[in-house]
Homo-oligomer: A and B are copies of this chain.
Amino acid sequence: MSVNAKYLLTRANVPPNIRPLQPADRLAVERILESTRNFTPSEIATALELVDAWLTTGAASGYHCLVVDTSDTSDTSDTNSAASHPDVRGYACYGPTPLTDGTFDLYWIAVERASHGTGFGRTLLQAVERDARGAHGRLLLIETSSQESYGATIRFYERNAYTLAARIPNFYRTGDDKLVFAKNL
């Protein structure tokens, strides 16, 4: 137990690192998506398709994927530790919306369930906004479901200054609307 406590203490002192998603992170992303209990198997498969597109062709895929990594990269005793056992807590996938001038979509964002409430989501979202702004983005859109299980997600967007721009009734299925949140960058 003391080892775990030390581990947690050490890691808590490391500011989370946002970096591009790498091949070694794929399993962690799958684990994160499953941990949230918010996604169906086909949603997880679709999320991983976007990750694979990014890993295969990079920005040319139209997708950019970032992770939040709490590995202690200052620990030089094993220079490969971060790469072989990345402490990936969450990820985001975004990209420029095709056929628009300056609109970006946040396609997926997920933080492992055990790390909810730690600020990793906000750190990821701010990194996406910064990257989009850097690529002349002026509008960031996030689509989500009106289901009750997405209540915390919706409050997360609202806390981060996203406003409800549109609602498509019965989009996902009867009684499950699509909500589109928007933020001017």
Question: Per-residue CB proximity of A124-144 to B under 8 Å, as 1/0?
Answer: 000000000000001101000
Q: A173: which B residues are within 8 A, CB to CB?
A: 100-102
Q: How many residues of A contact B (CB 8 A)?
A: 25
Within 8 Å of chain B (Cβ to Cβ): is A170?
Answer: yes
Specify the main secondary structure of chain A where it touches its partner. Answer: strand
Q: A166: which B residues are within 8 A, CB to CB?
A: 166-168, 180
The answer, among B98, B168, B182, for a CB contact under 8 Å with A165, is B168
Q: A168: which B residues are within 8 A, CB to CB?
A: 141, 165-166, 180, 182
In this complex, the member of A42, A165, A174, A182 whose beta carbon has the largest number of chain B beta carbons within 10 angstroms is A165
Least CB distance from A147 to B in Å reads: 13
What number of copies of this chain does the assembly contain?
Answer: 2
What is the bound-complex CA distance between A10 and B182, given in angstroms?
53
What is the bound-complex CA distance between A46 and B101, given in angstroms?
15
Least CB distance from A95 to B in Å reads: 15
Within 8 Å of chain B (Cβ to Cβ): is A99?
Answer: yes
Least CB distance from A175 to B in Å reads: 11
Q: A99: which B residues are within 8 A, CB to CB?
A: 42-43, 46, 172
Least CB distance from A108 to B in Å reads: 11
Q: A180: which B residues are within 8 A, CB to CB?
A: 166, 168
18 additional contacts, CB 8 Å, given A99-B172, A102-B173, A165-B168?
Answer: A97-B171, A100-B172, A101-B172, A101-B173, A103-B170, A103-B171, A103-B172, A138-B170, A138-B174, A139-B170, A141-B171, A165-B169, A166-B166, A166-B167, A166-B168, A166-B180, A168-B180, A169-B182
